[in-house]
Structure 1
Amino acid sequence: MVSQPYRVFTHKYVITSSLALSCLWLASFSTTALAATCPAYVFSEATRANQPINSAAATPRVQLHLQQGLLKPQFEQFLKRHFPVDLVDWQVSAHYQWPSAFTLSADSAEQILEKITQPYQFKITVHANRSAVVSYQFRSQGEL
């Protein structure tokens, strides 16, 4: 499970809504300003049907190449490469081994983390100070 502090999601929401409102404000005065500065937003399914979007071509697939050996250094390298992380606090066993050469691929780095952390029941928390904590994800008794 990949979790980020609530503050990160709030910032994304505020930035997105302020961009949308500024574009709508400009549109009320001038259509040329709208065309020059604002992205095209999809507000309804009718608009989406008329403009097909090829998401596979827009976003390249992310891959994680794992080799036989310790999981910790390979996992830390992936976190530092694909996330804003400089320091990893590894709070799980450092003795986890990956059995053979294998390549994981997904549409995003978050999906790769989900694929690799789910069997181990790891939880990754990325903090704003460029650190990440890898710990065990404990389940409540109601989820068993």
Structure 2
Amino acid sequence: MVRLVVGEDAAQKLNYISVTIDTVSRRINEISQNISEQVVDEIKKSPSFAIQLDESTDVSLSTQLLVFARYMVVGDFKVEFLFCKTLDTTTRAQDVLEIVNNFFDVNGLDWVHLVGVTTDGAPAMLSSRSGFQALVKQHAPLVTRVHCFNHREALA
């Protein structure tokens, strides 16, 4: 295909590029890590940020925690995927908080700058005493808590 589109010289140069499974996998991981670092750097430069969480079960019946971030960049809001982690044991609020807190610690994100948390209606997320939102309030007392109703819209 390259030979037809750009010529013989370009096709020959491609023969020198390593495309083993390990190389492709490594490059995908490097790109993913780089994008994650860019998002975290933008969040750190933003005066405040909010997160939206959802736990979901994939096709292998493994529970995944998906976290998105909303923050400001050059006077405009930006929404980016922050991370996806497997919930190995249970989906209790404490487990979710531990994963989010660990991500914040590893990446140098400060709870003080967190101004909003959006979760679904699961008891582990919303419970006023022991839900994830209540636990976040202990780290970021000024955080605004929001209940997401996207799932109901999708069902309707």
- Shared fold (TM-score greater than 0.5)? no
Higher normalized strand content (fraction of residues): 2
Task: Tell me which interval the TM-score lies in, with the shorter structure as reference length.
Answer: under 0.3
Normalising by structure 2, report the TM-score: 0.23
Normalising by structure 1, report the TM-score: 0.25
